[in-house]
Amino acid sequence: MNRLAPWLLAAAAAVAAAGCAKNTSRPGAKLHGPQGVAVYRGFGVDQPGVLRPLLAVANTRGDDLRIVDAVTDRVLEGPTLVAALAVPTEPRPSLIAAGSLHDQSPAGTNALRSDLLVVAPRGLVPRPFPAPAGTFGATIQLVVTWDERTRVASTVDLGDLAPEGALTSLLVAPVLQSDGAGGWQPVPNQARVLATTTDGALLSMLATRDPADSTNVIVLGAPRAQLLGFAGLDLAVSQDGTRIYVATLDPIPSAGGVLGVAELDNTVAGGDLPVRPLAARLGTTQVAALDVAPFLDNDAGNPELDTFGPALPRVYASLDSGSCGRDRSMPCGIAVIDPARGGLAVDPSGELPYQLPIQVPGEVVDFAVSGPPSLSDKPGYLKFDPGSGLRWTKAFAAVATTSGRIYLVDLSHFSVGNAVSPLTGSASTRASNSASYLPATDSGAPPTDASAIGLWFEPIGSPASLLFDIYAAAGVAVTPGYTNSESFTVTYQGKLPGLASRRAVAHVVSGAPEWIAIQEATGLTASGTSPWRSVARLYDPRLAVQVGDLVEVEAFPEGTCQGGAFELVVTAILPPDQLLYPGGAVGVTKVPSSPAGVDPACLPQGTDSAVTVTFRTPSLVLAGTASGYAGRPRFVLGSPETAPRFEFKYQDETVLHCPIMADDPQQWPPSTADIAACDAACRVTCERLVLSRRARRSFYMTDGCQASSTSSGKACNDKWVKLWGLRFPMPTGPVVAFKVGITDPELGLTLKRGTYLYFVTGSGFLPGSRSPNLGSTVTGATAPYGVTLYDKSASTGLANDGLRGFAAYADNLVLDFAPWSSVVPVIIR
């Protein structure tokens, strides 16, 4: 027998040892297009018998579920230990919901009762046997959470109940019974699974668990359908479980149909749930509900802490982005609904006819809400820091939008958390970068005989002084919560926004043009075509054309108007004529002081001519890159201390009625009666309404600015309170306000057309958000889908863990984030 050489033996042993060494790396989650996320209490094979919070991720492109430990962010391993656990589901799982069955462990036992977990695809899938082959329908699957072998327990085929309906949302809600004291309490061992479909149905199934069954199996009952009369898009349940809320873009059946959120009474034991509409003025796409304690006032001694009122039921719903906007009766964002009122909540500042919708960049994809965690360094409060400093609050929302970010919303303070301070610092609300410009002469050099535009500045205790150029910005008053980040120009005889160098039609009867309409002939006559395009609705008050405005005619048909450009003045605003000028027109006449050689009668007579025009104001006009037309300031030439300032400011729009400015742009032109009812005074009111809507606040400023012994407190108070006269908290004020002056007229200078002052405003607002990143590089922050929140402190017993959120991203990751900035988000892949 030959012996192996000792060195060979040693080498073999070393190789064996290396091969058998413990592999310390864990498999990744291997997510494929995750969409839905839900936290539930269940069991995992790695810790049998331990009931703990787990995160279920609907792995849409993987056709399965992935399970992650919600506390450690570690993915549960599959049986092979080299890959993550994958729970096969119906194709393309997307919707997922979890909830408690409100079980109480029987006295004297150690029975642990897991939550209910259901998952479903959004679209239709091939129906299982015994449905006919080749047919498609919706399904809902129940997932085993009551033992450690996570798998699908049962599949409910909804094809017969909802033959053509694809699921749009999924929810687990409690089943309620009277508590004997006038209230309601969950029925133990039961829960209700609800789903909405594209064909207007609300599907429901009863989930039950036999309390005597030691296996703790959950069973789904037969589904039933309730026809809602509208297609639900999202579901939510109130904090007390008595109400179900349904977001929909369709009118909710009632007198005249109501746009908003449908409220269903979940206390009804059997049969259809009664429906009550909650008016939000527009249709909605996503919904959540929570009892929220609203901000009342600052705590003078503690800037991190405020005083709050009692918690009140609130419903949050993202508005139809196609029907809202700056120039419409309802701004975009997440509407705040008061169920008690049956409609939008009251504005906490008392200014708007409703609480301002929460403004978030992008379109809302999903959002989740939560009250304070069970454990907190400040019991009953939630630690919140979007980046501008710690602030304790009472309610929080995480909003996923198409911008790729998860926005952090402080519901008790009514707004997205601000990552910067609007009151102090370089990013605060401000006006800056101003400059005075003179129009160039033909030689290109600035004129030497022209006046410049400046702004009056009135420091406290000092006489007013007229400032120009880089100093002029000091004369601009701004208001946190109203002022946007944009640049403004104050121009003498400036161009009206959107009406510069436009192709138009000039109608000439005899002499100069009679009317001018901004439109372009297509020459198309076939059925369904339009003879005009690029039609400016000159009759619409949003364009702010007024009698007395100037119309420069710059270009003409070839061979005409050899004398060059000429000018007209507006004498009337003509209502639309579907054949001649579908957007309306302006009646015009010659400017009395036309330059020599220029003849407005140069256009062909008795016909319409294609020209190019620019509309100008006769004096000053204010225009912003975001606000657009913002009004017509007047010069303050003397006594600036007593002259009123120009204000681009919100006015109560409920008292401003404009019959010729329909909210829906499709409703054009206005009716004959409305046109007849709107005289010159009416048009003035219309313009006030336009400006008022553009000057609405954009967020609620609940920071304090009380005078204090600190230098920052004194500086804040001196600037905002003493100088600009704002009252805190929630100041109301203008977007911008100022007094315009010009270079001393006694110097013999003249004001020339096109002279302007420019300045930039900063909003002092940077919406706080979370996104996946590697170090300082944001990566994977594309297309978030589902988001959920959960109380981590309840699982760990550590107040510092507080509230956490999970968001699924298209880039095959789930983000674990916290509402305060000191916690680095964790990427789960």
Partner 1 sequence: MRRTAWLLLLLSVACGENLSHTPPPMDHFFFPLGLALTPVAGGNAVAGGNQALLVVSANFDLRYDKEQGATLLSVDPRRYDEASGTGSLGRPGGALVKLGSGAQLGSYAGPITLADATSCPGLAAGPRGFVASRYTRKLYQFPVGADGSIAPCTGAFCTIDLDLDLMDPAAVETACRADGKRQSLFVGYLRSPPLGSYGSGTAWLSEFDMGSLASPPRTFPLAPGPVSAMAFDALTDRLYAVGRFAGLIAPLFILELPPCSSVDKDKDTCPKPNLQTVDLYSALTGAELVGIALSNPQPGRPRRAYISAAVYDEGYAAAIRARPTFDVGGAILVVDLEEDVVGQPAARVRSVVPIGLGAGAVRVLPVRPGLADLVVVPSSEEGSIQLYDDEVGAVIRVVTTDADSGAPEAGRIPSAIVVEDRGAEALVYVASFKDGTLSVLRVPMADPTSADLLRDGAGKPLRIGSTQP
Rg (CA), the chain: 33
Binding track, positions 674-713, relative to partner 1; x by CB under 8 A = ----------------------------------------
Compute the least distance from the CB of residue 54 to partner 1, in Å.
Answer: 25
The binder of partner 1 chosen from 71, 83, 152, 249 (CB under 8 A): 249
Regarding 643 and contact with partner 1 (CB under 8 A), the answer is no
CB nearer partner 1, residue 313 or residue 361: 361
Regarding 41 and contact with partner 1 (CB under 8 A), the answer is no
Binding track, positions 352-381, relative to partner 1; x by CB under 8 A = ---------xxx-x----------------
CB nearer partner 1, residue 249 or residue 565: 249
Nearest to 323 by CA among 312, 334, 315, 331: 331
CB nearer partner 1, residue 105 or residue 522: 522
Compute the least distance from the CB of residue 695 to partner 1, in Å.
Answer: 18
Compute the least distance from the CB of residue 353 to partner 1, in Å.
Answer: 23
Please give the size of the binding site for partner 1, defined by CB under 8 A: 75
Regarding 825 and contact with partner 1 (CB under 8 A), the answer is no
Q: Find the part of the chain contacting partner 1 (CB under 8 A) among 170-178, 375-383, 435-443, 515-523.
A: 515-523
Regarding 179 and contact with partner 1 (CB under 8 A), the answer is no
Q: Find the part of the chain contacting partner 1 (CB under 8 A) among 39-47, 140-148, 338-346, 772-780.
A: 772-780
**CB 459, CB 466: distance < 8 Å:** no
CB nearer partner 1, residue 69 or residue 327: 327
The binder of partner 1 chosen from 100, 177, 374, 402 (CB under 8 A): 402
**CB 308, CB 295: distance < 8 Å:** yes
**Which residues, including other chains, have CB under 8 Å from residue 710's CB and lie 6 or more apart?**
none
* Token couple for 385: 């820091």
Regarding 61 and contact with partner 1 (CB under 8 A), the answer is yes
CB-neighbour burial class of residue 219 (10 A; exposed 0-12, middle 13-18, buried 19+): middle
Query: Does residue 729 have a cis bond before it (omega within 30 degrees)?
Result: yes
Regarding 589 and contact with partner 1 (CB under 8 A), the answer is no
Rule CB under 8 A: which of 718-747 touch partner 1? none
Regarding 779 and contact with partner 1 (CB under 8 A), the answer is yes
Binding track, positions 115-144, relative to partner 1; x by CB under 8 A = -------xxx-x------xxxx--------
**Which residues, including other chains, have CB under 8 Å from residue 526's CB and lie 6 or more apart?**
none
Compute the least distance from the CB of residue 519 to partner 1, in Å.
Answer: 7
**Which residues, including other chains, have CB under 8 Å from residue 83's CB and lie 6 or more apart?**
27, 30, 77
Regarding 777 and contact with partner 1 (CB under 8 A), the answer is yes
Compute the least distance from the CB of residue 526 to partner 1, in Å.
Answer: 4
Q: DSSP labels for 560-620? A: --TT--EEEEEEEEEPPBTTTBTT-EEEEEE-TTPPTT--GGGSPTTEEEEEEEEEE-SSE
Query: Does residue 669 have a cis bond before it (omega within 30 degrees)?
Result: yes
Regarding 227 and contact with partner 1 (CB under 8 A), the answer is no
Q: DSSP labels for 60-115? A: GGGTEEEEEETTT-PBPB-TTSSSB-EEE-SSSEEEEEEE-----PPTT-----PP
The binder of partner 1 chosen from 379, 665, 725, 745 (CB under 8 A): 665
Regarding 617 and contact with partner 1 (CB under 8 A), the answer is no
In this structure, are strands 550-555 and 566-574 parallel, antiparallel, or unpaired?
A: antiparallel
Per DSSP, the three-state class of 525 is: coil
Regarding 485 and contact with partner 1 (CB under 8 A), the answer is no
**d(Cα 244, Cα 160) in Å, to the nearest integer?**
25
The binder of partner 1 chosen from 340, 524, 572, 655 (CB under 8 A): 524
CB-neighbour burial class of residue 622 (10 A; exposed 0-12, middle 13-18, buried 19+): buried
In this structure, are strands 201-209 and 190-197 parallel, antiparallel, or unpaired?
A: antiparallel
Compute the least distance from the CB of residue 18 to partner 1, in Å.
Answer: 35
**d(Cα 633, Cα 644) in Å, to the nearest integer?**
11
Compute the least distance from the CB of residue 482 to partner 1, in Å.
Answer: 22
Compute the least distance from the CB of residue 443 to partner 1, in Å.
Answer: 26
Nearest to 436 by CA among 472, 464, 465: 472
Q: Which residues of 338-347 are buried (b: 16+ CB within 10 A; e: fewer)?
A: bbeeebbbeb
Rule CB under 8 A: which of 268-307 touch partner 1? none
Regarding 233 and contact with partner 1 (CB under 8 A), the answer is yes
* Token couple for 806: 């999970």
Quote the Cα angle for 571-576-577, to 5°: 110
Regarding 529 and contact with partner 1 (CB under 8 A), the answer is yes
CB nearer partner 1, residue 620 or residue 827: 827
Rule CB under 8 A: which of 64-93 touch partner 1? 91-92
| Single-letter amino acid, residue 383 | K
Regarding 536 and contact with partner 1 (CB under 8 A), the answer is yes
**d(Cα 67, Cα 58) in Å, to the nearest integer?**
9
